[in-house]
Amino acid sequence: MEQPSAYLERLRPAGGKRSSKRDLIVNVFLRQEGHLSADDLVEIIKKEDQKISRATVYRTLQWMVDAEIARKVDFGEGRFRFEHAYRHPRHFHLICKTCNRSFEFLSSDIEVLIDEVAAARQFATSQSVLQIYGTCDECKTGREPTDSAATTELLFARDALRIAIATERSGMAFYARAASMTRDARGRRVFKRLADEEREHLTRLEARYKELLAEDSQLEARPTFLFFKGAANGLFAAGAEKLAKGVDAKQALMIGIKCERGSHKFFKRYGERFEDSEGKQIFLEFADEEREHLELLIREYRALAKRPGSKRTAARRPSRRSRRASA
């Protein structure tokens, strides 16, 4: 994992002069969580070094915004707040006007909509900000605020693993079904191999998820950060429905190719958008695994297409009894 000092050096603008005061301010800022005002940061810095002036802190904050180390956010308080970008994904905010607390979330559907609108207007986006104002559940019900000690990075990693696990389970079920249905011996071996690999990957992901939960006893119950309504696991569910209708081996391979291509594209696209974080790493690792499966399926499809009599390698149509059972 990249350390804050290395991150700072990597993001230093070309020709930027080295400053021990600025480096101290940046490193202190990167250690903080949440959204700090300039005055908040001044108070924290003064505890580290009384000689650093307020003006120096203000200039450094603006330098961090320009260097994309920090993001400036406006919660309608009459002053800006700042959040760091180090291992912190882009996100949106829910803002309670009663208690002034903010709650972070990320949605792939909103991201897609923003891209569609920008493309339609031929607009090159550099930053997207969405802030939703209203009343939080605690203020509506009078309940005590829940502990919010978990970092966004931890919530992001948890939700990324949840999405990957759901996709892996769906893929494993798809390939197990394809293996049981196809009459083509080679195709059956390929599907069985992929089902076994999905099972192995699922075991690793679930172990990783348990390790993550061990870092925070309340992590499982904390609010969702990633909202991916159109997540990739739905692709395999749709593919399994097509298998159930009765297809030949070539068609089964084509369905698998479509599922893996969509899954690879999904995880790669969103993984590349995120800043450096464990959640980003989870998405990109999963995208690589889906790419390997995609390449295997394409090779097998081409090999099957070249074999004589390939049209006769039909998958077994489920019997009436099995169709009733699956229903």
pLDDT digits (tens, 9 = 90+) for 169-194: 999 999 999 999 888 888 899 999 99
Domain count, the chain: 2
Global pTM exceeds 0.85: no
Tell me the mean pLDDT in the region 277-283: 87
Q: How many CB atoms lie within 10 A of CB 174?
A: 28
Given pLDDT bands bounded at 50, 70 and 90, which one contains residue 291? very high
Are residue 212 and residue 292 in the same domain, yes or no?
A: yes
What is the predicted pLDDT for the residue at 200?
96
Whether 51 maps to a domain, the answer reads yes
CB of 215 within 8 A of CB of 157? no
Given pLDDT bands bounded at 50, 70 and 90, which one contains residue 292? very high
- Measure the CA–CA gap between 278 and 169, rounded to whole angstroms: 21
Range(s) of the domain holding residue 49? 26-86
Final residue of a structural domain among 37, 65, 86 = 86
Q: How many CB atoms lie within 10 A of CB 107?
A: 16
What is the predicted pLDDT for the residue at 313?
46
- Measure the CA–CA gap between 161 and 285, rounded to whole angstroms: 11
CB of 218 within 8 A of CB of 150? yes
Whether 139 maps to a domain, the answer reads no
Neighbouring-strand partners of residue 133: 95
Whether 21 maps to a domain, the answer reads no
Whether 58 maps to a domain, the answer reads yes
Are residue 175 and residue 301 in the same domain, yes or no?
A: yes
- Measure the CA–CA gap between 89 and 279, rounded to whole angstroms: 9
Whether 130 maps to a domain, the answer reads no
Least confident of 35-44, 197-206, 234-243, 317-326: 317-326
Phi and psi at residue 107, in whole multiples of 5°? -135, 125
Final residue of a structural domain among 61, 86, 111 = 86
pLDDT digits (tens, 9 = 90+) for 120-161: 999 988 767 788 999 999 999 988 876 665 677 888 899 999
Are residue 56 and residue 161 in the same domain, yes or no?
A: no
CATH number of the structural domain spanning residue 55 = 1.10.10.10
83 φψ region: left (φ > 0), alpha (ψ -120 to 50), beta (else): beta
pLDDT digits (tens, 9 = 90+) for 101-119: 888 888 877 887 888 999 9
CB of 25 within 8 A of CB of 56? yes
- Measure the CA–CA gap between 276 and 90, rounded to whole angstroms: 11
- Of the chain, the percentage scoring pLDDT greater than 70 comes to 83
What is the predicted pLDDT for the residue at 231?
64
What is the predicted pLDDT for the residue at 36?
86
Find the angle CA(269)-CA(272)-CA(274) to the nearest 5 degrees: 115
Neighbouring-strand partners of residue 105: 92
Tokens 């070094």 locate to 49
Are residue 287 and residue 196 in the same domain, yes or no?
A: yes
pLDDT at 234 over 80: no
- Rg from Cα positions in the chain: 25
Least confident of 1-10, 143-152, 212-221, 295-304: 1-10
CATH number of the structural domain spanning residue 248 = 1.20.1260.10
Tell me the mean pLDDT in the region 69-78: 78
pLDDT at 326 over 50: no
Are residue 53 and residue 167 in the same domain, yes or no?
A: no
Final residue of a structural domain among 51, 69, 86 = 86
Are residue 56 and residue 179 in the same domain, yes or no?
A: no
Whether 117 maps to a domain, the answer reads no
Nearest Cα neighbor of 10 from 32, 26, 28 is 26
Q: 3-class secondary structure for the chain?
A: CCCHHHHHHHHCCCCCCCCHHHHHHHHHHHHCCCCEEHHHHHHHHHHHCCCCCHHHHHHHHHHHHHCCCEEEEECCCCCEEEEECCCCCCCEEEEECCCCCEEEEEEHHHHHHHHHHHHHCCCCCCCCCCEEEECCHHHHHCCCCCCCCCCHHHHHHHHHHHHHHHHHHHHHHHHHHHHHHECCHHHHHHHHHHHHHHHHHHHHHHHHHHHHHCCCCCHHHCCCCEECCCCCHHHHHHHHHHHHCCCEHHHHHHHHHHHHHHHHHHHHHHHHHCCCCHHHHHHHHHHHHHHHHHHHHHHHHHHHHHCCCHHHCEECCCCHHHHHHHC
pLDDT at 8 over 60: no
